[in-house]
Amino acid sequence: MTENNDTGPNAPAQRTTHQPAQKAQKDQRYLEARRLLEAGAVTDRRALAENTKTRPEVLYYLAEDADRQVRKKVATNDNTPHQADMILTSDPDEEVRVELARKIARLVPGLPDLEQEKLRTRICTVIERLAQDSLPKVRAILAEEIKNSTAVPKSVVLQLARDVEETVACPILEYSPLLNDDDLKEIIAAGLTENALVSVARRETVSEDLADDVAATLEIPAVAALLANPNAQIREETLDSIIDQAREVKSLHRPLAMRPSLSIRAMKRIAGFVASALVHHMINANALENDAAENILERVRARIMSERVDDTEAQRLLEQARDYHARGMLDDAFIVNGIENNQRELLIQCLGVMADIDAKVVRQILHSKSGRAVTALAWKAGLSMRTAFQIQTELALVSPSQLVAAKNGETYPLDDSEMVWQLSYFTE
């Protein structure tokens, strides 16, 4: 008798036992889930709601559970079906909707890569519903997460950009690549809050037309943000208008002076009213050649000379300086703060008290254009070389070619005898 090994090509297929076992296991889990739904405690339903292996139909049922914690866990569960997510967009508990917004926001970066158009459409449908939520927190979470996306519906982006809540509108206005110039100009024309307009001015690219519209609002923070944005294209005529406005608006002085690629004409106009401390920053930011820099510095020096205080005010400032000195307040930090706050006349009196030199002599040294003389004054006043350099550039307006730099980045480059010699030109 021949033994049949069932090994030939026509042998019957081997039966597998693992598939029925898996099905039985799934059925058992489903029956257990049904039991917990019907008779289980709330803790059991919460466990089902957060388990990513729970069947979608069970999660759909739990989306309307009486317990808010159950619904919150369904909202966070990535396995929750679309129909359940749509139910949760109208959930009466705001925290449930917040958690849903966070989950949907996590899915946004993957939208362009989704192969199933049906799934992408479903996610976008939930996004559209969340964008209409009555709770600003929900809309803000959504706006923050989709601000850089090109895959979300533009209608949603436009809706969020026009939102009355700044936490919602600002991220979209500043970052969304879906907003074009026409969209932004229309939104500006309809009226924006101050911070929302600042967000527009900070966009990665701001065209000349868009810059015109921002500047035309005359909102100071937005104009300052526009000037500070190196990628904002500003027409010369628009810049002229801003300069006219900035003369009386101190908060625009720094962003104007620090604006890159200014024309010589614009720099001369700006130098006519900004603090002397900003002029060197402006010169350095635009890498001016020595002759052009000196021309601007000379204009500023002439302006400063014409702004001197009268004798009564000078005496008051001298007494104030003596009081500060008696209380031990005159140091490097005090001088630097005075420079940054454009307290020029007070600083002249303070340097005189610190160096035991008459204020008139201090003024002569500061107007001498000599980096060595100014450095010697700072040394006599007991200041650091770092402060001495700042006095040269921002208070004395020493030309770039005449500046005295620190030795090894921090110490005075001149010896004591040369310091005394430099001062002797003015004190003897």
Of 16-30, 129-143, 157-171, 215-229, the least confident = 16-30
Q: What is the CB neighbour count within 10 angstroms for residue 282?
A: 22
The predicted-structure confidence for 183-238, as pLDDT tens digits, reads as follows 999 999 998 999 999 999 999 999 999 999 999 999 999 999 999 999 999 999 99
Closest-CA residue to 318 (of 350, 342, 344, 366): 350
Distance in Å from the first CA to the final CA of the chain: 135
For 253-302, the pLDDT digits (tens) are: 999 999 988 999 999 999 888 888 888 888 888 888 888 888 888 888 88
Domain residue extents for the chain = 311-425
Question: To the nearest whole number, what is the mean pLDDT of the chain?
Answer: 86
Sequence-ordered list of residues with C-beta below 8 angstroms from that of 351, at least 6 positions apart, any chain: 335, 357, 362, 377, 378, 381
> CA 313 to CA 64: how far, in whole Å?
76
